[in-house]
Amino acid sequence: MLECFLLKRKLYDCLDNSLSEKDRMRIKKHLDVCPHCQERLTQLKVILDYASSKHIPSPNNQFWYTFNAGLARRLDTIVSESGTMTQKPKVYRKPALVNAVLCVFFLAIGIFLFKFSHPTGMPLGRQVNVLVEEFTSSDEFSEASELNHEDDYLEEMDLLMQLELA
């Protein structure tokens, strides 16, 4: 029974002529003593014989004339719709796909930076405004400090002139 199980697969190979000589001998030996496997082999052989003798049509010239006319019509339609097939511009899909993916990636990063909170706890858009304000105010401050320096300078000059006159 174990031999039957082991040889089950080999039965098909036996009919398909894809067995080694050693396996063929082994199966032959087994088949001589096992009517059950003999019956199985006959059944498989019948199935394969019937399948391989299936009626395949060999149509006449009239069939092929109609077939070729139909095919030519379809091809003419395709050619007239899309121009000459050989001159069709070649579209390289892979680079286009990579570029599209990169665009989406950078767009996503951009949206993320502008939409979601910055590590400092302030949206970047708002932070820019704050920075500009700070910058302006610091500029005004420096201007003011410059003016203060000028006043000091003038005061100093006045003092020197007074000393000279004295």
Residue from 4, 6, 75, 104 in contact with another protein (CB under 8 A): 75
Nearer to another protein, 68 or 145 (CB): 68
Distance CA 101, CA 116 (A): 22
Q: Which stretch binds another protein (CB under 8 A): 9-17, 26-34, 128-136, 146-154?
A: 9-17
Least Å from the CB of residue 94 to another protein: 14
Least Å from the CB of residue 29 to another protein: 22
When computed from its CA atoms, the radius of gyration of the chain, rounded to whole angstroms, is: 47
Q: Does 103 bind another protein (CB under 8 A)?
A: no
20, 32, 42, 105 from 13: Cα distances, Å: 10, 18, 14, 55
Give the H or E element holding residue 123.
Answer: none
Distance CA 11, CA 19 (A): 9
Least Å from the CB of residue 24 to another protein: 17
SS3 92: coil
* Residues that bind another protein in the complex, under the rule CB under 8 A: 8-9, 12-13, 16, 18, 39-40, 42-60, 62-64, 67-68, 70-71, 74-75, 78, 84-88
